[in-house]
Structure 1
Amino acid sequence: MPAIFVGHGSPMNAIEETAYTRQWQQWGQQLPVPKAILVISAHWLTYGTAVTGSEQPETIHDFGGFPAKLYAQQYSAPGDPQLAQQLAKTVGANIIVDDTRGLDHGVWSVLMHMYPQANIPVLQLSIDPRMTPQQQYALGRQLRPLREQGILLVGSGNVVHNLRVLRFDGPAYPWAQEFTDAVASKLQSHDDAAVLDYKNLVSPQVAQMCHPTDDHLQPLFYLLGTSYDDEPRQLFNNSIDLRAIAMLSLQIG
């Protein structure tokens, strides 16, 4: 299976048709049908690594101040407790199976466009923010064999994510565009080490502006670890929303 990183942006993408969501729909139509989907979302942080183990994970509405229509959305995809247990036993990290956790909007706001029938089992893997980018990349490497079993691996975050300076008009901030361009260039040249060293990709000051906290960048580190050296890479949705949310997405394979 290919592996993808998706810039998920605003929760409103769940109920709006945009250039971003149209690309997500195309993925669902063009990718091989996966046996299951494992998503690493920016919105589940834990000390240690956990994976959802519920047979029917709930839809978590982990945001505030949005229209009632958004809170009414449900994504009723089944879980896969057996796969969760397999992960816990076979991956080198000490993974805890959490059979109470549902799917946050970093997962379902994207998948409801990719697989609207919600008939493919979905699991979510948490992010351990104490790990270095290199350690998160290494854990992604341990997840890579899942691709050979027909499982779609998805990282869901944003290459630039600064909610403090969002504006509804105007072009991207220069620092946001510069950082996004640098990441895109390194992804295309397979220079993953430079992406992992993101604080020095442009400058520490630009990195801090792009990521006051780096939870939305960390899913990319895991996802890059799932790649093979000779695989093609394609970039999608390379634009910046609300001046400071990079929607850049990546398909590996």
Structure 2
Amino acid sequence: MSTLTDLGALDQLPSLQKSDPMPVLFMGHGSPMNAIGDNDYRRSWQALGAEFGSSRPRPQLILCISAHWLTEGWWLTAMDRPKTIHDFGGFPQELFDVQYPAPGDAAAARAISQMVRQRASVPLGLDKDAWGLDHGAWSVLKPMFPDADIPVIQLSMDYSRAPEDHYALAGQLKALRQRGVLIVASGNIVHNLRQMQRGASASQAYDWALEFDQTIGGYLQQGNLDALQRFQKLGQVAKMAHPTHEHYLPLLYAAGATDPREPMRFMNTSFQGGSISMRSVIWG
């Protein structure tokens, strides 16, 4: 992993001290109800969060990339108190009542934007009031870090850009891991709401969903991270797995911020509704 000798504005931030490399997480978030339901997914997120501060260092900052913030260009939340966004409909009031009042870190957002611009000439805009933390972010962060006391910055995704561009940008974020930044990408390896069967069990999946999930899982196990960018070459099975691919793109941010030789493990290798893969990946 690269050393941090040329990070400019980050060196001026006392809040982001040099540290052992933080892990990278790709979390399959599935239904928003997982955030409040007493199920295996929420319990696994709680258990993972408990590792930080015990067997893992506690993050100084969380950088979250969610499937649910798509923009023209790339943007970082840069407000001191990001709002909790309930970007869904048709769910119980209990879910709309959820708040995740984690602080933001405008100074860190500015420093990250400056670092990426200097290193890769990619402008990251600073959003001071339009967005906040959407359910792709808070649905997994709230079970993991229920005290909401770790600052969170969310990075948007420019859906018009090629998968390779997202992966390349993630490579510029890798260095943040040595400054106590936990990168959390939140999406789903398979995500086709049109084909959902709500009565399906966690062990049931369509053949095409299972094929795509296992193919991508194989790339990850092999450390063949470059192949992840070429998922559309899998043809019809990829189109079925992702009629639109915003839920796949966060995986590229997670993988792009890692090294192919890093230890990796899976969690939640099951499905919701037969067409949403909950497979999650932990590197480092």
Match of 1:67 among 92, 109, 116: 92
Provide, for residues 33-92 of structure 1, a one-character-per-residue CA deviation record: whole Å limited to 9, x for no partner: 100100000000011100000100000000000000000000000000010000111113
Match of 1:97 among 123, 126, 142: 126
> Cα RMSD over matched residues?
0.9
What amino acid sits opposite 1:68 in the alignment?
Q
Deviation (angstroms), 1:181: 0.7
Q: How does 1:173-252 map to 2 (within 5 A)?
A: 173-200=206-233, 203-252=234-283
1:122 corresponding residue in structure 2? 152
Provide the C-alpha distance between the structure 1 equivalents of 2:225 and 2:266, rounded to a whole number of angstroms: 15
Provide the C-alpha distance between the structure 2 equivalents of 1:169 and 1:211, rounded to a whole number of angstroms: 21
- Contact in 1 for aligned 2:36/2:42 (Cα 8 Å): no
2:29 corresponding residue in structure 1? 8
Deviation (angstroms), 1:8: 0.4
2:9 corresponding residue in structure 1? none
Deviation (angstroms), 1:169: 2.2
- Contact in 1 for aligned 2:83/2:133 (Cα 8 Å): yes
Provide the C-alpha distance between the structure 2 equivalents of 1:14 and 1:96, rounded to a whole number of angstroms: 29
Provide, for residues 184-239 of structure 1, a one-character-per-residue CA deviation record: whole Å limited to 9, x for no partner: 11101111122211122xx3111111100000000111111100232101111111
- Contact in 2 for aligned 1:177/1:240 (Cα 8 Å): no
Does residue 112 of the first structure (1) align with residue 142 of the second (2)?
A: yes
Decide which structure has the larger Cα Rg and report it: 2
What amino acid sits opposite 1:23 in the alignment?
S
Q: Secondary structure at the match of 1:26?
A: helix
Does residue 140 of the first structure (1) align with residue 170 of the second (2)?
A: yes
Provide the C-alpha distance between the structure 1 equivalents of 2:194 and 2:77, rounded to a whole number of angstroms: 31
Q: Secondary structure at the match of 1:161?
A: coil
- Contact in 2 for aligned 1:79/1:122 (Cα 8 Å): yes
Provide the C-alpha distance between the structure 2 equivalents of 1:11 and 1:178, rounded to a whole number of angstroms: 25
Deviation (angstroms), 1:143: 0.4
- Contact in 2 for aligned 1:157/1:216 (Cα 8 Å): yes
What amino acid sits opposite 1:230 in the alignment?
R
Deviation (angstroms), 1:135: 1.2
Does residue 41 of the first structure (1) align with residue 70 of the second (2)?
A: no
Provide the C-alpha distance between the structure 2 equivalents of 1:233 and 1:17, rounded to a whole number of angstroms: 27
Q: Secondary structure at the match of 2:133?
A: coil
Segments of structure 1 that go 5 or more residues without pairing to the other structure are: none
Provide the C-alpha distance between the structure 1 equivalents of 2:39 and 2:231, rounded to a whole number of angstroms: 29
Q: Secondary structure at the match of 1:6?
A: strand
What amino acid sits opposite 2:124 in the alignment?
I
Deviation (angstroms), 1:27: 1.4
Q: Secondary structure at the match of 2:112?
A: helix
Percentage of pairs with the same residue? 47
